[in-house]
Structure 1
Amino acid sequence: MTRTTPARPISVEAVFPELDAYRGRVTRLHPRPGAPGIRDSHVGGPLLWPYDDPWPVCHEQHRIETEGYAPDEIRSARDSGGWPPSRPWPDAESPGTEGPVPFAGLAQFFRRDVPGLASGPDGADLAQIFRCPLTHGPHLERRYHLRWRKTDETEHAGRFLDPPPRTPLLRAEQELPEPCVLHPEEVDTYPWAEDGVLPAPLIARIDAWDDAQISERGPHALNYQSDLSIPPGWRVGGYPSWASTGPMAVDCDSCSTPMRLLLTAEGAETDAGSHSWVPCEDRDPALDGKASIQDWSSLAQPTRLRFGRDRDLHVFVCPADGEHPPRWVLA
């Protein structure tokens, strides 16, 4: 099934003509639970990974875990609507503090499926995203990994890895992604309205408009950031959202070139403030507004993943040299 974003409640550029110069395109991925295969773009499914290719591992020091959750028990608990039991971390298999720990595959995207996916090094057209299942340091930091591939060359492998290596337990239930198929859709997007992103006079006009909306419509008022700017959820390209941190410069650590946003991963596909972006296919046409949204609980977090304290994970790449390391920014 396709997913179609409803028309915005008002024409953004009719209210703020200056935004015409900033209009961009973003590909909303619309993950929904399903059964993706190794040749599908997805979140949480099996990766197209040659059998003889070493699986990525994290060699950094890790926080020692004392208990965790078995993946099979997590899935059973989700099916039953319950919560999985915790288990003592098996000492014999504990990764300890030095690693190595196998990265967990989170998602993969083929450019043939996802409009707007930038090319990787040497024309690579398949991006695979990983996260270390354990944490690092006193602030429970995470480590991520991006692997680029050329689909045609990868297919020549003939034999593929299944299942991948993994830790015996996961530290939290939300470490295990729910396998999701994608329904890519391109929509218009506009920048976050804060200093350093848009001109100050335009930001002042947007703020004044937001205040006027609240005065006129109260709790049901439109809001530029929530309703007109950047859609929620997993998306490729477009503009970064800066709800938690405020705008920041993201430059390449290797050459200082300003980096380009490749992907945004978000735990929630919608919330109370962004419900106007929920696709038409997920609504009851007989109802209006938020009341029309069907199966809100499963729609809100289909992948079951979280990033930080419910933040957006932005993946930036260097436009000057695709071999330079990406940057991973929680915002």
Structure 2
Amino acid sequence: MTRTTPARPVDVEAVFPELAAYRGRTTRLHPRPGRPGRHDSHVGGPLLWPGDEPWPVCREPHEPEAEGYAPQEIRAARAAGVWPRSRPWADAGRPGEGGSVPFVGLAQFFRRDVPGLTAGPGGADLVQLLRCPLTHGPYLERRYLLQWRRAAQTERGGHFLATAPEIPLLRWEDELPEPCVVHPEEVDTYPWAEDDVLPAALIARIDAWEDARAAESGRDAPTYQGALSIPPGWRVGGFPSWASTGPMDITCASCAAPMRLLLTAGGDEMDPDSHSWMPLEDRDPSLEGMASIRGGRSVAQPARLRFGRDRDLHVFTCPTDPGHPPRWVLS
């Protein structure tokens, strides 16, 4: 089934014509629980991983864990609609400070499926995103991995990893992604309106317009940030959202070039300020607002993942040389 973003509640360029010069495009991925295969673009499904290539492991020191959730029990609990039971780590299986921990595959996207996905090193057209399931240091930092491949060359190999290795226990239930098919859709998007991302005079006008709308229509009035500029959830390209950190200058550590947003991974597909972005196919046309959204958690949090404290994970790459190390920003 396709997914169709409703028309925006306000024609933002009619109110602020100068925004036309800043208009961009992003590809919303609309993940929904399903059964994707290794040759599909997806969130949480099996990665197209050559059978003779070692699965990546994290060898950095990890914070010690006392208990966790077994992956197979998480899957069984989700199928039954219940919460999984946590278990204590067995001393023999507990990863030490220098223990090797297999990464968890989060997603993969082919350029043939996803409009706007930029090419990787050497023209690579398949990108895979992985995460270490354990935390690092006193601030509980995470480690991510971006793997680029040439899809046709990899698919011709013919021999693929059947099952990725798993850590015996995951720290949280939401470390394990729910397999989701994706429904790519391109939509218009506009920059975050804060600091110097847009001209100060334009930001001031947007703020004044929002205040006037709120005074007229109350808290349900659409806002620029929530309803008119950047959609929530998983997306490729477009502009980063800066709800938690405020705008940041992201530059390449290798060459100092301004980096480009490759993709955004979001745990939630909506919140009270952004529910207007929920696709028409996931709504009851007889109802309005949040009440019209149907499908429960399968549409609100389809991949069952969290990034930080309910933030967006922005993955930036270098436009000068996509082989330079990516940068990961939670915002």
Shorter-normalised TM range: over 0.9
Q: Name the SS for the 1:183 alignment partner.
A: coil
Question: Residue 252 of structure 2 corresponds to which residue in structure 1?
Answer: 252
Deviations 1:184-218 (A, max 9, x none): 00000000000120000000000000000000000
Q: CA deviation at 1:299?
A: 1.5
Contact 2:313 2:328 in 1 (8 A): yes
Letter in 2 for 1:3: R
Alignment partners' CA distance in 1, 2:125 and 2:25: 19
What's the Cα RMSD here?
0.9
Question: Residue 122 of structure 2 corresponds to which residue in structure 1?
Answer: 122
Alignment partners' CA distance in 2, 1:296 and 1:48: 30
2:60 is the alignment partner of 1:73: no
Question: Residue 139 of structure 1 corresponds to which residue in structure 2?
Answer: 139
- More deviation, 32-41/77-86: 77-86
Question: Residue 269 of structure 2 corresponds to which residue in structure 1?
Answer: 269
Question: Residue 150 of structure 1 corresponds to which residue in structure 2?
Answer: 150
Q: CA deviation at 1:101?
A: 1.2
Give the TM-score, by structure 1 length.
0.98
Alignment partners' CA distance in 2, 1:298 and 1:234: 14
Q: Name the SS for the 1:148 alignment partner.
A: strand
Q: CA deviation at 1:272?
A: 1.0
Alignment partners' CA distance in 2, 1:299 and 1:217: 28
Contact 2:222 2:273 in 1 (8 A): no
Once the two structures are superposed, the pairs formed by residues 188-207 of structure 1 within 5 Å of their partners are 188-207=188-207
- More deviation, 78-87/110-119: 78-87
Question: Residue 164 of structure 1 corresponds to which residue in structure 2?
Answer: 164
- More deviation, 160-169/186-195: 160-169
Letter in 2 for 1:150: R
Instruction: List alignment gaps of at least 5 residues for structure 1.
Output: none
Letter in 2 for 1:9: P
Q: Name the SS for the 2:212 alignment partner.
A: helix
Alignment partners' CA distance in 1, 2:99 and 2:255: 30
Once the two structures are superposed, the pairs formed by residues 1-331 of structure 1 within 5 Å of their partners are 1-331=1-331
Alignment partners' CA distance in 2, 1:210 and 1:219: 10
Alignment partners' CA distance in 1, 2:322 and 2:315: 13
**Identity value in percent:** 72
- More deviation, 153-162/176-185: 153-162
Q: CA deviation at 1:294?
A: 1.1
Q: Name the SS for the 2:92 alignment partner.
A: helix
Contact 2:107 2:128 in 1 (8 A): yes
Deviations 1:112-169 (A, max 9, x none): 0000000000100000000001100011100000000001110122111011112111
Q: CA deviation at 1:81?
A: 2.1
Alignment partners' CA distance in 1, 2:133 and 2:222: 39
- More deviation, 292-301/34-43: 292-301
Task: Report the number of matched residues.
Answer: 331
- More deviation, 275-284/87-96: 87-96
Q: Name the SS for the 1:249 alignment partner.
A: coil
Alignment partners' CA distance in 2, 1:174 and 1:180: 14
Q: CA deviation at 1:287?
A: 2.0
- More deviation, 215-224/71-80: 71-80
Q: CA deviation at 1:306?
A: 0.1
Any runs of at least 4 consecutive aligned residues in structure 1 with deviations exceeding 6 A, and if so which? none
Letter in 1 for 2:313: L
Q: Name the SS for the 2:197 alignment partner.
A: coil
Letter in 1 for 2:138: P
Alignment partners' CA distance in 2, 1:229 and 1:258: 22
- More deviation, 205-214/217-226: 217-226
Alignment partners' CA distance in 2, 1:128 and 1:4: 25
Alignment partners' CA distance in 1, 2:69 and 2:33: 21
Deviations 1:33-65 (A, max 9, x none): 000000000000000000001111111111111
Q: Name the SS for the 2:106 alignment partner.
A: strand
